[in-house]
Structure 1
Amino acid sequence: MNTYIRNVVVCLLMIITTTITAQKAYVLDKVVATVGNEYILYSDIEEEFSFAKTQDASIDESAKCNIIDGLIAQNLIIHHAKLDSVEVTDEEVEAELDARFSNILRNMGNDEQFFKEYYGATPAEMKERYRDDQKQVILAQRMQMGLISTVDITPEEVKKYFYGIPSDSLPYLDAEVEIGEIIIAPVVNSTERKKSLDLITSIKEKLDNGEATFEELAGQYSMDGSREKGGDLGFAKRGSYVPEFEAVAFTLEEGEISDIVETEFGFHIIKFVERRGLNVRVKHILIRPEITPPDLELAKIKIDSVKNLIQRDSLDFQTAVRRFSMNKVQSYSNAGRVLNPKTGTAFFETDDLDPDTYFAIVDLEVGDVSEPYEIDVRGEKMFRIVHLQSKTRPHKASLEQDYDKISFYAKESKKSEYFAEWIQGKMDETYIRISEDFSHCPDLKQYVISN
């Protein structure tokens, strides 16, 4: 495949994912390139270059050639997305902007004054400034995903990809494992539950009687990190909270205070602060029932009995997951199989495992289950057993042992080639002209025109 086009695709992917991250620089502007009906400004190049410098101070002016390569490809996609009537709604743009700037605000402790001093604009002003950019990014992503989503790969293509790698270039793969898990949480006993319910009921009465403000009571009683901020949870979109909490939080009106809400975390009282697009900002008071030592011991006994049933072949692992494991963890819907967050696959190199998991499985044979051990899930003590589902020793990559992994990389390679060929074809048929300011870029000379 043409090396230039491959490099363009890499630059494009970087630009699409960082366009809204960089802060716009205000420079004397001019059009430096035309791609179909789209325009690239001098400030676009400078903005990307400034951001790249923050990531790697060693880059020099020559990097601008790669930047304009990527911007040409991005605008080529946008131009053809518009011709193909690919749609992006205002609601989608608003939701993405809300999520991005709400996240920035959260990282700044929800201090809007600090945000304004840092960016020179309010969150609302920044959203307006980036609205068109964000729409273009979503449009490019949607067009690209639509193009490569149809790419599939056959076993013959996997073999061809593998045998196309010179034997002396085949990678050595570290030892890998696949693991499953069962997690059991202790159950709050009725006495502790009643204590917490009585406490939050008394707090609600104080609110209703006007004995103190919501923020004062949150600071005095709430049992989570929001306590220091008067219960403020900042802005969040749907899907950020557990269903019981979210069902109430998104239906309240400004200033309204909810009745008592029970979730897996305990009892809440919720106050609605404001809405921005699809995001809401709420405060809450949380009272957590205490998990006592006897509660923990009962959970440990339960998971130990599950482990024994599996070991005696009285119960297969997947059935045990469905019957006993906590259904709020990702592995539950995957038959207990744990996914590696670094790769998105079920394979873990041993260095990827946390110490507790590594030592739990280090002496197991495939099919064995570990002894129960205590873990922390969102600040709650629970118990876990680990099932060792497969294990490989360090070895040279082979089709027999590593077919799934090789198939994944072969498919990704095919997607890249397909996308690069699409880019090349569209470049050949689309009007592209570039200012002579970039005549020094070797791969762009055919598009340069005199100013």
Structure 2
Amino acid sequence: MRRGWPAAPPWCYMKTDTWIRLDTLRRLPAVFLAVLVAATALFGACRGPLAAGADAVVATVNGQPVLESAVHQALLHDYGARTLARMIDEELVRQAAQVANLNPDPAQLELKMETALSRAGGEVAFEQSLAVQGLTRDEYRDRLALSLLLDLLALQVTTFSDEQIQAYYQAHRERFSYGEQARARLSLTSTRENAETLRSALAEGGDFAGLAQAFSEDPATRDKGGDMGWFERADFAPELSQVAFALRPGELSQVFQGPDGYYLLQVSEKRPAGQKPLESVREEILSDLRYRELPSARQRWIEQARRNVQIRIADPDLAAALRIQLQTAPPLGDLGLIPHS
């Protein structure tokens, strides 16, 4: 026994040489609170006699009593191992994240909360769902944060070889291909007269970028001197694309009417259909692979962490049940899922 600790502490389990108190972990749903009331069976230090009234009759069935101690014992063995396994997983994530100095991304956490609220059907339904699970909003947010931390921990130990990246690239060649592309500048005016005036100025050697900044009414390109960037035929309205792809590089279009007014286009470059180089889409491929691999990566991380954890439980039945839970339970159970209404 460590100096200064009470004779029968409410310890839950031990990771290496650190005892974890039940009362420092998050509050559990109501049904699990009943399990923890009976948690004196978990540890030899807490296996004293049942409190007064623990064997009170809580129900009768055709005159036969159902004792409170029997209810507690059934709850303990039905739910105790499942609950304890989840608590162990949660603590493993907390400890590892602290060592690695990891924190959940606030924007991602907020997005998860907004998604939960939306899926629950609004504020009232969300709060009701949390109440059924015995959780406050802050406690639910903490669970989401743990889920994000597990993602970070899992991805830290997940790598992909050049061969895997190349295979993904080859399997999705159509996605990384592009059609014929053009780059052009655009000027938009509300009247044909203004457009013709601009064209005359351009035909006499005027600078398209400067004139577009001064006179174009297109908010998307005006501040960029009319630059539309690289685009394919399907990226813009047919009226614009047909004109752009009919022009040669350096050629100025005639004034033509489009969806929002009168347009002038000048194509600066063109390039034929082709394939994006692997290096230009490497990060995109890695992001896709990580997303696809994440569920398996989470499972592997938890399984490895479970193999390394040291747990001491005095109750042999609970210990056996917990061993099965740690071998078969998914990582963190339902941690981070949207509450059920």
- Into which bin does the TM-score normalised by the smaller protein fall? 0.3 to 0.5
TM-score under structure 1 length normalisation: 0.34
Bigger radius of gyration among the two? 2
**Larger relative contact order (CA 8 Å, sep ≥ 6):** 2
